[in-house]
Structure 1
Amino acid sequence: MADVRDDSPYGYIPTLWICVLFVVLYSLTSAAHLGQATYYRMWWLFPTMVIGGVGEIIGWAGRTWSSRNYFSDNAFYMNICCTIIAPSFMTAAMFIMMGRIIGLVGEEYSRLRPRTYSILFISADFAALVIQAVGGATAASADTSSGSETGGNIMVAGIIVQMAAITIYCIIQGDYLWRVLTDRPVNSAPSGAGTPRSDIEGVSNTVTLEKEAASGRARLTPNIKNMVLGLGIATVFVYIRSIYRTIELLGGWNGAVFVNERLFSTYKSLL
């Protein structure tokens, strides 16, 4: 797949067509999210999926640059930093989406209020983003291999913080869905429950929930079920990606995982 080169910071020369493919794919999905955000007025998509997508485009553009100029440190760090940091913005979208679903299906099944849920996990995601950014800046500005390793370790710390947040998120998400399906509310429904407002595509104008809905399960319309399914799949993929990135960076810039292009392309495709 790739030409092995010891003088390349990747350990190989990135395959051009793979780089171009991902630039195109992220451009298409980012354009789609931009359209969704504008048409459906889902403004929260701009600082999450749109910015995250642009970050991925820049990262893969750097990798494309590396495929033609593999000894460029600027191209290398452009790729590494952006492809590690960009997913943090996309993870924030998952947290916001779950908060919206809680507002639609019923707050009485959640241990946290939707707003608290979003604020808590987005704050953790932002902290992980800052740590990863500091690590990326440290690695990019380092003049020695030890400095680069230090930057890499800081980035690992950021990914671990993010993974811890996602783990807690998965537990709370699972608890919420279990309570909805078994009709075991944490507390009584708040005033006005059953007529929630949402700016999720396909829900805001098509879903009208009866205030007297027998249970949260009765509020799981096909649209909401599809959102829950999509959110679950996205969560699994992001979690796998975080595990891969942690192992990759812990092994160092010359580790067996880092210099394997097939692994990199496979796990990046999950996002």
Structure 2
Amino acid sequence: MSCYIYSNDSYAPIPFPCNTVNGSANLITGQVSYSSYGYEPAQSATQGFLVLFCVGFAAQLLLSIYWKCWWTIPTLVAGTAIECVGWGGRLWSIYSWYWDINEGGYWYSQFGAFIMQICCLVIAPTFFSAANYLLFGRIIENAGPEYSSLHTQSSSTIFVIADIVCLVIQAAGGGIAGTAGDSQGANTGAYIMTGGVVVQLVVTVLFIALFCEWLWRRKHFSPAKKQYNPFARFYRKRNHTKRNNRNTVNNTENASFNEGVDSSGTAMEQLPSSRWQKDKSRTNSSTSPLNTLHGNDNAPVNVTAHRLSERQINLMVGLISAGTLLIVIRSFYRSVELSNGWEGPIATNEPLFLGLDGALMFIFVYLYAFIHPGLAFGRRLF
């Protein structure tokens, strides 16, 4: 029987003794070798996470429909579905193991299954981040837009666009790794994916800064002196089209609509609470429920804050805080893991992967199922 190894220079096959003893030490390294993962994934843990994420996917889909929170379908539901595909790819890897007698003898699994699981499990949390961004935008719009330095029209838009950029970078890295003909090309794909994860981590940190600013200002009743709305022109055109279609344009709406946009239609810094100040004069009575919402008769209050109770606001704020913490920890782990390629010491440590990726994302999915955004913003289907 003739076996081979590959030359390091030309990757041409070179005759080499066969290793026909299944599971024995590799004739070159002296250790039991595994392709792709560097270890044999635990079947029970993989099956368990696959079942949990499939149940989470069904729960997220049903809750999105029940609460009519359609924006959670391309975020929470899509992200959980991708997690299911990733864990399915990992299970496929386990079922495809066989002993290869070449290259000194090693356990081999389908490389396509490995790429499927690594790409999906790296990309999926990007959709969860988008859910956080959109939820935060809805909270500040309903519970105090005047407390944010970034206009509500632009806050969610900016972070979602950044999230899409991260997704594209990670997908590009996964594509390069999946089509690579050697380990060097696969590692190049891993480094590109690392770049996407790092960018996502930076965006998340900026989001945390904006989130903390809003919390601090709202707690101390300190509206932002100026707001920036880089997407004002876009929303101006979109709203103008809607008004033309409905034939409901009037001078009052135009004045409110053009707030924050100069005569040329470009975005500019603006006073965040011009509408709030007008409404405050109409609700300045000490008996007004709007003035007592925060427990302070003289505190500035947005007139739309009555849409959410303080309990709902605190619940959603806690949800975003916990979800963001989980994503930050997981992103930091992935950044370090992929920085050393597929064969680094962290990438080949399964307990770390199960604890800092699988378990954290499982908690995120079920946290958003038990405390669904529909509790604050949804409308029951029946």
TM-score by length of 1: 0.88
**Aligned twin of 2:78:** 51
**Aligned twin of 1:144:** 182
**C-alpha separation between the residues in 2 aligned to 1:210 and 1:5?**
71
SS state at 2:52 partner: helix
Aligned: 1:112 with 2:139: no
**Aligned twin of 2:325:** 236
**Aligned twin of 1:158:** 196
**C-alpha separation between the residues in 1 aligned to 2:218 and 2:42?**
47
SS state at 2:343 partner: coil
Corresponding letter in the other structure for 1:97: L
Are 1:77 and 1:140, in contact at CA under 8 Å, matched by a contact in 2? Answer: yes
Deviation per CA, 1:81-112, whole angstroms, max 9, x where unpaired? 00001111111000000001101211000111
Corresponding letter in the other structure for 1:258: A
SS state at 1:11 partner: coil
Are 1:149 and 1:253, in contact at CA under 8 Å, matched by a contact in 2? Answer: yes
Are 1:132 and 1:157, in contact at CA under 8 Å, matched by a contact in 2? Answer: yes
**C-alpha separation between the residues in 1 aligned to 2:35 and 2:153?**
47
Name which of structure 1's ranges 95-104 and 5-14 shifts more when overlaid on structure 2. Answer: 5-14
**Aligned twin of 2:273:** 189
Corresponding letter in the other structure for 1:130: V
1:3-152 matched pairs, under 5 angstroms: 5-70=32-97, 71-152=109-190
Q: CA deviation at 1:5?
A: 4.8
**C-alpha separation between the residues in 1 aligned to 2:192 and 2:327?**
20
Name which of structure 1's ranges 133-142 and 29-38 shifts more when overlaid on structure 2. Answer: 29-38
Aligned: 1:177 with 2:215: yes
**Aligned twin of 2:360:** 270
Deviation per CA, 1:177-202, whole angstroms, max 9, x where unpaired? 01111111114535369x9xxxxxxx
Are 1:5 and 1:11, in contact at CA under 8 Å, matched by a contact in 2? Answer: no
**Aligned twin of 1:261:** 350
Deviation per CA, 1:35-76, whole angstroms, max 9, x where unpaired? 121111111011101111110000000111112224110110
**C-alpha separation between the residues in 2 aligned to 1:20 and 1:165?**
33
SS state at 1:26 partner: helix
Are 2:170 and 2:195, in contact at CA under 8 Å, matched by a contact in 1? Answer: yes
Deviation per CA, 1:162-182, whole angstroms, max 9, x where unpaired? 111101000110111011111
Are 2:34 and 2:40, in contact at CA under 8 Å, matched by a contact in 1? Answer: no
The total of aligned residue pairs comes to: 256
Corresponding letter in the other structure for 1:37: S
Are 1:65 and 1:75, in contact at CA under 8 Å, matched by a contact in 2? Answer: yes
Are 1:13 and 1:66, in contact at CA under 8 Å, matched by a contact in 2? Answer: no
Deviation per CA, 1:95-131, whole angstroms, max 9, x where unpaired? 0000011012110001112220011000000000000
Corresponding letter in the other structure for 1:225: N
**C-alpha separation between the residues in 1 aligned to 2:58 and 2:145?**
33
**C-alpha separation between the residues in 2 aligned to 1:231 and 1:190?**
28
Q: CA deviation at 1:221?
A: 1.1
CA RMSD in angstroms comes to 2.3
Corresponding letter in the other structure for 2:332: I
Larger radius of gyration: 2
**Aligned twin of 1:251:** 340
**C-alpha separation between the residues in 2 aligned to 1:145 and 1:177?**
47
**C-alpha separation between the residues in 2 aligned to 1:97 and 1:227?**
8
SS state at 1:226 partner: helix
Q: CA deviation at 1:215?
A: 4.5
TM-score by length of 2: 0.63
Corresponding letter in the other structure for 1:92: A
**C-alpha separation between the residues in 2 aligned to 1:97 and 1:5?**
48
List gaps (5 residues or longer) in structure 2.
1-22, 24-30, 98-108, 226-271, 280-287, 294-298, 362-382
Q: 1:72 to 1:5 in 2, by over 3 A?
A: farther
**C-alpha separation between the residues in 2 aligned to 1:190 and 1:107?**
11
